[in-house]
Amino acid sequence: MSFPDAPLVPSLVVTQHSNHNSNIDSQYNSRDMEKPFVQTPLLPPKQPHEDLRKASWSRRYGHALKIIIVCVVASRLAKFLLSKSSHKHGHARRQDIDWSNLPTLTHLEYTDCYEEFQCARLEVPLDHFGNATDKKVSIAVVKLPAAVPVTHPNYGGAILFNPGGPGGSGVSFVLGAGLAFRTLLDARPDSNGSYFDMIGFDPRGVGLTEPAVNCHGDATAVQSFALRSIEEGLLTSSDAALGRLWSMNAAQWGSCAANDDGGIMHYMTTSSTATDMLNIVEAHGYWRESEARRLNRQTRTPMREELKHKPGKEKLQYWGFSYGTFLGATFLSMYPDRVDRVILDGVVDAEDYRQTLWYNNLVDTEKTMDLFYHHCARVGYPTCALATFNQTTKAQDVKERVAKVILSLHHDPLPVVGRNPDVISWSDIRGILFGSLYSPVQSWPLVAYVLSRLEQGDGTELAQFLQFIHVVSCPSSDEPEPVLAYVPYPGAIIKCTDAEVRDFDNKTAFEGHLNKLRALSPTGGDIWATITMPCRNFPLRPLHRYTGSWAGNTSHPVLWIGNTADPVTPLASAKRMANGFNGSVVLTQDSPGHCSLAAFSRCTSDYIYQYFQTGEPPPKDTVCGVEQIPWGPTPGDDTVVTEDVKAGIQSQDEIANALHRASGGLGRSGLVGRFAQRVIM
C-alpha cells in the first residue's frame, strides 16, 4: 500500500541430486541420507498551516509508522502477542478454514480456501538424512492457482516463495501477495507467455506447519518478559544494559531449549527446509500429472509428455528474499541439478551467516543512512521536516540535527502526558531510525517528521503508536484467530542450529563482537548484535546441518539481485555468492533499502518478468534505475508519472507489505527490531 495522500508525500521519479551428501553435518556417522520428494537552528515557529499538517499526520503517516513499530519490536513478541496485534492492525487474514482438519498426505490434495486460494498439508519425514525417528512433519502449503489449467499450453508450472526471516511464513506471504505476483509475473496482455501457480509454505517449526515450536507455555508471562527486555533498551543504553540483557537472554533461550518435548528443534536447519522444498516440487509434479489426467478425461484429450510427473527430475522455480536467499543458496548447493528459474533477492553472505558473525550485513548501512541526510537536504523544507526553514540545507546539517535529537533523548527521555502516559526513549528512536533504512521511500518522510516533533518536545503522536507494544494484550478467548505470520522463536532456532559452534559464547567475548559491529555501523551495530545473542545461550545442537561449500554447477542460471545501498544485505554479498554458481548473473538496482521491493524499478521488474517467462537473465553487469526515490523528485521537477508505473508501484507495494507481515518486518519496512531475538533480515 502506498501513502493514501501521495501528493503530500511524493515518492515518484520517472527516469546432483544424489543419494548421499557428505556436506551434511550429521550426528549419524556416515549414514546415507535419503532425499525424498548534530546541530542547526530548530524548526521555525509554528506556521499557520502546521495544525492542518499535524491533524493529518495519522492519515498520512500512520500506516507506515505502524509497520515500523511492529517490526521494531516484533522480534521480542511471542506468538500470542504478535498474532493479536497483527489482527488488531489488519496485518493478518482471518481463517476461513480450519487447518487442523486438513488431511496430511504424502501428496498434495488441495482444498479451496481464502476465496481464490487452495490449501493443503504435505507429509515429509522429520529426519530427512538419518533414521533417528520415524516421526513426520506436516507442511502447510497454500497455492494461488494459475489463471489457466495445467493442460493449457501456456501453463508455466509453480513458483515457490519465501519471505525471509528466518521464521517467516510463506503461507501468510502468498495469501497477501499472490494476486500481485500474478500481475507481476504472469503473461502480459497480448503476449503468448506463461501463467504460474504461486505457492507459499510455512517452513518446519513455523506458523501453521506442525509440530509447532513451543518454547514457553503461558502467553501472558511471555509478554511480560518481552516488556521487561524492551524497557531495558538497547545493549548500549546504559552501563548495566548488556549484563541484564545477557542474563535475560540466557534464561529465555536456555528455557526454550529445555522445552523441546516434541523434538522439532533438532530438525529445523535450513538444509532440512531445502529438502522440504524438494519434496514440494516433487509433490507438485505428481499433482500436475494427476490434475492433467482428470481434465483430459473430461475432454478426451491425450496426455502431453511435459505434464507427466518426472520422479527425481522435477525442478525448482523460486523467488526468495533476504534469509530466503540463504535458503535458496542451500538448495542450489545441495541440489544443483534440480534448479530451474531461481531469483535470490537481498542476498545474505551465507558463510558469514553460518559463522554466526552477521558482520558483512552492515557493510553498506552507513551508506544508506547518509542517503537519508542527502535526500532530505535535496528536497528541502517543508518537503522534509528536518531541512532548514527558508534556506538551503546541506546533508551535514540534517545529520547534525538528527544526532542532537537522539543525544537529547539519551540523557533525558521525553515524557508524554496524556490519558495513557508514556516515555519516548533513546532506544525507541534509535530502533525506529535504523528500521526506516529498510524502506526509505515509505519510511523516511515520516521518520523525519517524527524527529522534528521530538525536537520540539512533542512525542504525542509517536506515543500513540507505541502504546500497543507497551501494554499486555488480553483479548477475548473466543476471538477468531488470524493466520499467523511472523513468530519470533522459530527464527532464532533456525539460525542458531544452522550455525557453527560459536567461539565467543561468554559475555566478555560477545562484547568484543558488539564493539566491532558498532565500529562498522554506528547507526545499527548495537541493534544488529542482538540478532545472534540467542545463539550464545542456546545449547541445543541439530542432528544435521549443511557444512559444504556455497557452490554448484546449477542446471539453470541463477539471478541474484542487490541494491546499491541495502542496509543489511549489501550488494557485495550478492556478487560474492554468485561467484560460486556457474552461469549466475547479478542484477544491481540503484536504490537504498532492503531487497528490490524497497523502490519500484520498471527496469528490474521487466527483467524479473523476462527471467520467469523465458529463463533468460539480464546481461551481466546490468544496473537498473528506479522510478521512486525518498521524498520524491526535487522541487521543480515536472516529470509525469505514467499509468504503467503507477500500476507497477501498486502491485509492488502489495508484495512488499505482505513481505513485511510475513517475515516480521522484512520488506516494506522490513526492519530488524531494536530488540531482535532473531534476524529479520
Residue-level pLDDT at 325? 98
> What is the share, in percent, of the chain residues with pLDDT greater than 70?
80
Q: In the predicted model, is pLDDT for residue 486 greater than 90?
A: no
Domain assignment present for residue 561? The answer is yes
Residue-level pLDDT at 635? 86
Q: In the predicted model, is pLDDT for residue 15 greater than 50?
A: no
Q: In the predicted model, is pLDDT for residue 574 greater than 80?
A: yes
Q: Which of 112-121, 236-245, 488-497, 499-508 has the lowest mean pLDDT?
A: 499-508
User: What are the grid coordinates assigned to 493, written together?
Assistant: 532456532
549: amino acid identity, one letter: S
220: amino acid identity, one letter: T
Give the pLDDT confidence of 138-160 residue by residue, as tens digits: 999 999 999 999 999 999 999 99
Tell which wins on pLDDT, 260 or 56.
260
Residue-level pLDDT at 640? 81
**Binning pLDDT at 50, 70 and 90, where does residue 460 land?**
very high
Q: Which of 127-141, 273-287, 320-334, 486-500 has the lowest mean pLDDT?
A: 486-500
Three-state secondary structure call for residue 442? helix
Cα 11 from Cα 58, distance rounded (Å): 18
Residue-level pLDDT at 124? 98
Residue-level pLDDT at 472? 67
Domain assignment present for residue 576? The answer is yes
Domain assignment present for residue 439? The answer is no
Domain assignment present for residue 238? The answer is no
**Binning pLDDT at 50, 70 and 90, where does residue 488 land?**
low
Domain assignment present for residue 237? The answer is no
Tell which wins on pLDDT, 492 or 665.
492
> What is the share, in percent, of the chain residues with pLDDT greater than 90?
70
**Binning pLDDT at 50, 70 and 90, where does residue 478 land?**
low
Tell which wins on pLDDT, 341 or 466.
341
Give the pLDDT confidence of 341-377 residue by residue, as tens digits: 999 999 999 999 999 999 999 999 999 999 999 999 9
Residue-level pLDDT at 95? 57
Domain assignment present for residue 64? The answer is no
- How far CA 604 is from CA of 596, 617, 647, in Å, comes to 8, 11, 15
Total number of residues shown for the chain: 681
Q: How high does pLDDT run on average in the chain?
A: 84
Across the range 583-590, mean pLDDT stands at: 99
Cα 670 from Cα 593, distance rounded (Å): 9
Q: In the predicted model, is pLDDT for residue 550 greater than 90?
A: yes
Tell which wins on pLDDT, 361 or 506.
361
Residue-level pLDDT at 527? 95
Q: Which of 6-15, 201-210, 303-312, 492-501 has the lowest mean pLDDT?
A: 6-15
Residue 204, domain extent? 79-213+264-352+548-663
- In eight-state DSSP terms, residue 141 is E
662 CB burial (10 A radius; 0-12, 13-18, 19+): buried
408 CB burial (10 A radius; 0-12, 13-18, 19+): middle
Q: In the predicted model, is pLDDT for residue 379 greater than 80?
A: yes
> Measured in whole angstroms, how far is the alpha carbon of residue 194 from the centre of its chain?
27
Residue-level pLDDT at 65? 53
For cell 493466520, name the residue: 483
Domain assignment present for residue 372? The answer is no
579: amino acid identity, one letter: N
Cα 320 from Cα 343, distance rounded (Å): 6
DSSP string, 482-540: BPP---HHHHHHHHHHHSPPPS--SHHHHHHHHHHHHHH-TTTHHHHHGGGHHHHS---
Residue-level pLDDT at 464? 84
Residue 340 host element (H or E): strand 339-345
Across the range 287-313, mean pLDDT stands at: 95
Domain assignment present for residue 240? The answer is no
What total number of domains does the chain contain?
1
Give the pLDDT confidence of 552-562 residue by residue, as tens digits: 999 999 999 99
Rg for the chain, CA atoms, rounded:
24
Give the pLDDT confidence of 50-98 residue by residue, as tens digits: 443 444 444 445 545 544 544 444 433 333 323 333 333 233 454 578 9
Residue-level pLDDT at 489? 84
CATH number at residue 177: 3.40.50.1820
